[in-house]
Amino acid sequence: MDEITFAVLGTGGIGRRALEVSQHKETLTPVAACDRRGIALDADGLDVDELLAATEGNIDNEVATDGGAGTAAVDGDGGGNEDGGDGVKQHGEDRGVVASDQARPSEDPIGEIVDRGDRIDAVLLALPNYEHDFIPRTADRFVEGGYSGVLIDVLKRSRVIDMLDDRRAAFEDAGITFVCGAGATPGLLTGAAALAAQSFVEVESVDIWWGVGLKSGYEDNRGTVREDIAHLPEYDIETARDLSADEIERLIDERDGVLEFEDMEHADDVLLERAGVCDAEDVTVGGILDVRDDEKPTTTTVRVTGTTFDGETATNVFQLGDETSMAANVNGPALGYLKAGVRRNRAGEYGVVGPAELMPGF
Amino acid sequence: MDEITFAVLGTGGIGRRALEVSQHKETLTPVAACDRRGIALDADGLDVDELLAATEGNIDNEVATDGGAGTAAVDGDGGGNEDGGDGVKQHGEDRGVVASDQARPSEDPIGEIVDRGDRIDAVLLALPNYEHDFIPRTADRFVEGGYSGVLIDVLKRSRVIDMLDDRRAAFEDAGITFVCGAGATPGLLTGAAALAAQSFVEVESVDIWWGVGLKSGYEDNRGTVREDIAHLPEYDIETARDLSADEIERLIDERDGVLEFEDMEHADDVLLERAGVCDAEDVTVGGILDVRDDEKPTTTTVRVTGTTFDGETATNVFQLGDETSMAANVNGPALGYLKAGVRRNRAGEYGVVGPAELMPGF
């Protein structure tokens, strides 16, 4: 497979770690990274070390509240509010990617990436999604700008898949392959479920149970934590977005830093159904997030129970080592699925696919 | 993905079970099945139920000793010797596939399948490999006959991969995508290792440990057992082939039906290296086979230990439920990889690939 060039939209925790992990992957060259205020471009490959060193202390944690069609703002996945109240770790003059020598301010960073789209094989949308149409609307900009290539996100919400599906014909016409939900979960874990399902002719249930310990990564991943809060029974994506930083801290305090989720609305179900593994209703997702400890509060486990062709019922199990961080489990798979998406795209397969559909024709 | 037509060479345990499992897979239509003496053909799809019912008691367990280029005989993976001394389960007039109403005798069943190659997307080589060039030589016949499509085997031996690699240019010229080692192991388990490796930027070790309980499948899988014996320290592929049925029974008696293997020559190592997961020398394969009990003597487990981008060392684990049979774990993945191979072939990717290379660009 030839060299792959890619861009990262959003330089929060996920965007920056994706750049870092890409350094370990052969054939992947990051040529652009942007946030809502600036952009770094280098067709020969960004100096990732410099970019990370310059931006680690200058994360732009503001939420992109809107921008309307054509002006969608680009945020990191940092979280926080429009007033910048979180002020996480900022200690430089410039916030966000412009702190890097390779970057400059931009009025329209997404537009600049779209304009260079013919030299970019894939675009990783490492964006938050407090408004659940934010990523679909960003995709619209790439369609409108004549981009053809791979778009890939690491989202979790089922309803976003539907919004992307509504755009399937537009993606196909444009020559875009949209890979959705390509992080740790749904990404890695639905991939594992699709693989584990191979022993069976009928899958009865897929149980996904995750543990994340996020003490040292908490500040970097406030956006992810906020999105997780939206999965708590008392909240939804809108009410979670409207929480102030203080309210989030209080909510976490009340729970001693531990948030437990059962029966989450999580795209794993629809993505496994799309891949033909099982019905969406046979998938359950839950987990425990501890923001005050780096040790995982529980072991991330995928259990696939099914019936074999010879009539036996059994459960295949996939478990992640407790020492693997969320960042490790998000970004390795995301880049792997990115490469798989580029292969599909080059073979002329366009539209919307989930990670489990990228597994060998299972 | 469109409909896929496929043929099965060899109607021993693996070939017949592949036909059976294919009934549960969408888009797969078996259009040909043959053994060394006969062939069943139906461009609209074989009646698998009839074929299995007719052949279950009439397995041709003779070993194809040779045939030379152009006349390579086709055997099931039943095992036994040229004198037919095993005589396993035969109770019909006709041995092998010709016991089916859909089949007829053939002087050159492989030639007949090659001649119909333009209507066959993939050919599953469910053949034994006592002579370790038997499958490569069979592949030569497809090249010589102008076949372009997928060839796929479920072999275990590292050295066969090398022999297939020697033919890479010929496969590429012919438009053939050869998928090697696509059964339970290497197939399913190296796929799991490639998936599990995603948390890491450096994989230190892959440990594959399998358990197979084969009491009720023993007669059907004598070929596989004989090939396993070749992995015992005291034997090799030639000495195992030369064992009489009595000698095999004695060998198994001496071990109370339990064969334990450590550090096997197993293609998992070269296939994981080819896929970029780790060095071949970091892969260890072992397992326990019990031919007198259907319960697995040990749980099949893949352990992938590596270092994350953030410097942690951890082990991800994949385990198969003990109730899943070898047949279930061979044939589901084999057909999944067959479909993945057809997708690659249709995209113009030819040559030799292992299962782990068919995983998302990991």
A212-260 confidence digits (pLDDT tens):
998 887 877 787 788 889 888 888 878 988 999 899 999 999 999 999 9
Q: Identify the structural domains of chain B with CATH numbers, from first to last.
A: 4-183+328-358 (3.40.50.720), 185-323 (3.30.360)
Exposure string of B125-156, with b = 16+ CB inside 10 Å and e = fewer, is bbbbbbbbebbbbbbbbbbeeebbbbbbbbbb
Residues of chain A with pLDDT > 70, as a percent, come to 88
Q: Which of A62, A132, A219, A231 is catalytic?
A: A231
- State yes or no: cis peptide before A109, omega within 30 of 0: no
pLDDT at B74 over 50: no
- Provide mean pLDDT across the span A93-118: 92
CA-based torsion, A19, A20, A22, A23: positive or negative: positive
pLDDT at A352 over 90: yes
Binary contact (B339, A347; C-beta < 8 A)? no
Integer-rounded Cα Rg, in Å, for chain B is: 19
**Which runs of consecutive H residues, i.e. helices, occur in B56-133?**
109-115
A266-292 confidence digits (pLDDT tens):
899 999 999 999 999 999 999 999 999
**Nearest residue of A to residue B331, measured between CA atoms:** A199
Instruction: Return the pLDDT at A86.
Output: 35
Instruction: Return the pLDDT at B274.
Output: 93
**What does the alpha-carbon distance between residue A307 and residue A204 come to, in Å, rounded to a whole number?**
7
> Which residues of B are less than 8 Å from A26 in CB distance?
276
- The distance in angstroms from the start CA to the end CA of chain A is 22
**What does the alpha-carbon distance between residue A347 and residue A97 come to, in Å, rounded to a whole number?**
34
For residues A355 and B57, the model is more confident at A355
> Which residues of A are less than 8 Å from B20 in CB distance?
309
What value does the mean pLDDT of chain A take?
A: 88
**Nearest residue of A to residue B319, measured between CA atoms:** A317
Locate tokens 């990523």: which residue? A135
pLDDT at A306 over 90: yes
Residue B109 to chain A, least CA–CA distance (Å): 28
Instruction: Report residue A63's pLDDT band, with 50, 70 and 90 as the boundaries.
Output: very low
Instruction: Report the residue from B199, B321, B358 with minimal CB separation from A314.
Output: B321
> Which residues of B are less than 8 Å from A191 in CB distance?
195, 360
**Nearest residue of A to residue B362, measured between CA atoms:** A336
pLDDT at A327 over 80: yes
> Which residues of B are less than 8 Å from A358 in CB distance?
360
- State yes or no: cis peptide before B109, omega within 30 of 0: no
Instruction: Return the pLDDT at A58.
Output: 60
Q: Could you tell me which residues are beta bridge partners of residue A57?
A: none
Binary contact (B308, A314; C-beta < 8 A)? no
For residues A175 and A25, the model is more confident at A175
> Which residues of A are less than 8 Å from B342 in CB distance?
361
Instruction: Report residue B129's pLDDT band, with 50, 70 and 90 as the boundaries.
Output: low
Query: How many angstroms from the chain centroid is the CA of residue B33?
Result: 15
Dmax over CA atoms of chain A, in Å, equals 66
What value does the mean pLDDT of chain B take?
A: 88
Locate tokens 């960003």: which residue? A138
DSSP three-state, residue B326:
helix
Instruction: Return the pLDDT at B73.
Output: 37
**Nearest residue of B to residue A195, measured between CA atoms:** B192
Contact criterion met (CB below 8 Å) for A296 and A211? yes
Instruction: Report residue B79's pLDDT band, with 50, 70 and 90 as the boundaries.
Output: very low
pLDDT at B81 over 80: no
Q: How many residues does chain B have?
A: 362
Instruction: Report residue B83's pLDDT band, with 50, 70 and 90 as the boundaries.
Output: very low
DSSP letters for B269-294: HHHHHHTTSS-GGGEEEEEEEETT-S
Contact criterion met (CB below 8 Å) for B122 and B342? yes
Residue A300 to chain B, least CA–CA distance (Å): 10
**What does the alpha-carbon distance between residue A173 and residue A227 come to, in Å, rounded to a whole number?**
32
> Which residues of B are less than 8 Å from A188 in CB distance?
195, 198-199
**What does the alpha-carbon distance between residue A266 and residue B274 come to, in Å, rounded to a whole number?**
35
Q: How many residues does chain A have?
A: 362
**What does the alpha-carbon distance between residue B143 and residue B346 come to, in Å, rounded to a whole number?**
17
Instruction: Report the residue from B21, B319, B339 with minimal CB separation from A316.
Output: B319
Instruction: Return the pLDDT at B93.
Output: 54
Instruction: Return the pLDDT at A224.
Output: 78
Q: Could you tell me which residues are beta bridge partners of residue B319?
A: A317, B301
Locate tokens 């696509």: which residue? B182
Locate tokens 């399902």: which residue? A197
**Nearest residue of A to residue B308, measured between CA atoms:** A328
pLDDT at B173 over 80: yes
**What does the alpha-carbon distance between residue A213 and residue A204 come to, in Å, rounded to a whole number?**
30
A14-51 confidence digits (pLDDT tens):
999 999 999 998 799 999 999 989 999 999 999 999 99
Contact criterion met (CB below 8 Å) for B228 and B221? no
Instruction: Return the pLDDT at A88.
Output: 35
Residue B320 to chain A, least CA–CA distance (Å): 5
**What does the alpha-carbon distance between residue A25 and residue B277 come to, in Å, rounded to a whole number?**
11
Active site residue A227: yes
Q: Between the CA of residue B345 and those of A75, B4, B121, B124, B179, what are the distances in Å?
A: 40, 12, 9, 15, 10
Instruction: Report residue A128's pLDDT band, with 50, 70 and 90 as the boundaries.
Output: low
Binary contact (A1, B361; C-beta < 8 A)? yes
Angle, helices B134-144/B158-165, rounded to nearest 10 degrees: 20
pLDDT at A145 over 60: yes
Active site residue A357: no
pLDDT at A136 over 60: yes
Q: How many CB atoms lie within 10 A of CB A291?
A: 24
B231-257 confidence digits (pLDDT tens):
888 888 789 889 998 999 999 999 999
**Which runs of consecutive H residues, i.e. helices, occur in chain A?**
13-22, 48-55, 109-115, 134-144, 158-165, 168-174, 189-196, 222-229, 237-241, 245-254, 268-274, 326-346
Q: Could you tell me which residues are beta bridge partners of residue A4?
A: A28
Tokens of A285: 């997702």
Under 8 Å CB-to-CB from A8, ≥6 apart: which residues? A15, A18, A19, A30, A32, A33, A34, A123, A124, A126
**Nearest residue of A to residue B349, measured between CA atoms:** A347
Give the full edge-to-edge strand order of the sheet including B351-353: B103-105, B38-41, B28-34, B4-9, B122-125, B150-153, B177-179, B351-353
Lowest-confidence pick of A9-13, B7-11, B286-290: A9-13
**What does the alpha-carbon distance between residue B124 and residue B29 come to, in Å, rounded to a whole number?**
12
For residues A361 and A343, the model is more confident at A343
Q: Could you tell me which residues are beta bridge partners of residue A261?
A: A287
Query: How many angstroms from the chain centroid is the CA of residue A52?
Result: 19
Instruction: Report residue A152's pLDDT band, with 50, 70 and 90 as the boundaries.
Output: very high
For residues A311 and A72, the model is more confident at A311
For residues A130 and A136, the model is more confident at A136
Binary contact (B362, A336; C-beta < 8 A)? yes
Residue A261 to chain B, least CA–CA distance (Å): 23
**Nearest residue of B to residue A362, measured between CA atoms:** B336
Under 8 Å CB-to-CB from A63, ≥6 apart: which residues? A75, A79, A80, A81, A82, A128, A130, A223, A241
Catalytic residue ranges of B = 156, 227, 231
B89-104 confidence digits (pLDDT tens):
344 456 789 999 999 9
Interface mutation vs chain B, best among A24, A52, A309, most B CBs within 10 Å = A309
pLDDT at B228 over 90: no
pLDDT at A59 over 80: no
Residue A227 to chain B, least CA–CA distance (Å): 22
Instruction: Return the pLDDT at B217.
Output: 77
DSSP letters for A158-193: HHHHHHHHTTHHHHHHHT-EEE-S-SIIIIIHHHHH
Phi, psi torsion values for A199, nearest 5 degrees: -75, -15
Q: What is the ipTM of this complex?
A: 0.89
Instruction: Report the residue from A195, A276, A329 with minimal CB separation from B199.
Output: A329
Binary contact (A362, B336; C-beta < 8 A)? yes
Binary contact (A360, B337; C-beta < 8 A)? yes
Instruction: Return the pLDDT at A266.
Output: 85
Instruction: Return the pLDDT at B59.
Output: 54
Instruction: Report the residue from A26, A310, A340 with minimal CB separation from B360.
Output: A340
Instruction: Report residue A60's pLDDT band, with 50, 70 and 90 as the boundaries.
Output: low
Instruction: Report residue B349's pLDDT band, with 50, 70 and 90 as the boundaries.
Output: very high
Binary contact (A198, B315; C-beta < 8 A)? no
Residues of chain A with pLDDT > 90, as a percent, come to 70
Contact criterion met (CB below 8 Å) for A355 and A191? yes
> Which residues of A are less than 8 Å from B199 in CB distance?
188, 320-321, 324, 328-329, 332
Task: Establish how many alpha carbons lie within 13 A of residue B111's alpha carbon, considering only the half-sphere containing its beta carbon.
Answer: 11
Instruction: Report residue B351's pLDDT band, with 50, 70 and 90 as the boundaries.
Output: very high
- The distance in angstroms from the start CA to the end CA of chain B is 22
Instruction: Return the pLDDT at A69.
Output: 31
> Which residues of B are less than 8 Å from A21 in CB distance?
201, 309
Lowest-confidence pick of A215-229, B186-200, B340-354: A215-229
Residue B249 to chain A, least CA–CA distance (Å): 27
Instruction: Return the pLDDT at A18.
Output: 96
Instruction: Report residue A1's pLDDT band, with 50, 70 and 90 as the boundaries.
Output: low
pLDDT at A84 over 70: no
Q: In terms of C-beta density within 10 A (0-12 exposed, 13-18 middle, 19 or more buried), how is residue B101 classed?
A: exposed
Q: Which of A62, A132, A219, A227 is catalytic?
A: A227
B16-65 confidence digits (pLDDT tens):
999 999 999 879 999 999 998 999 999 999 999 999 999 986 655 444 43
Instruction: Return the pLDDT at A166.
Output: 96
Q: CA torsion B70→B75→B76→B79, rounded to 10°?
A: -140
> Which residues of B are less than 8 Å from A345 in CB distance?
none
Binary contact (A188, B198; C-beta < 8 A)? yes
Interface mutation vs chain A, best among B49, B309, B325, most A CBs within 10 Å = B309
DSSP three-state, residue A206:
strand
pLDDT at A76 over 90: no
> Which residues of A are less than 8 Å from B305 in CB distance?
321
Instruction: Return the pLDDT at B292.
Output: 92
- Provide mean pLDDT across the span B314-343: 96
**What does the alpha-carbon distance between residue A248 and residue B291 come to, in Å, rounded to a whole number?**
59
For residues A140 and A262, the model is more confident at A140
Exposure string of A88-115, with b = 16+ CB inside 10 Å and e = fewer, is bebeeebbbbbbbebbeebebbbbbbbe
Binary contact (A360, B339; C-beta < 8 A)? yes
Exposure string of B346-362, with b = 16+ CB inside 10 Å and e = fewer, is beebbbbbbbbbbbbbb
pLDDT at B88 over 70: no
Tokens of B135: 């499958």
Instruction: Report the residue from A313, A323, A343 with minimal CB separation from B314.
Output: A323
Q: In terms of C-beta density within 10 A (0-12 exposed, 13-18 middle, 19 or more buried), how is residue B278 classed?
A: buried
Tokens of B210: 């399998």
What's A205's DSSP letter?
E
Count CB pairs under 8 A between chains A and B. 182
Residue A245 to chain B, least CA–CA distance (Å): 27
Interface mutation vs chain A, best among B198, B307, B346, most A CBs within 10 Å = B198
Tokens of B262: 């450590």
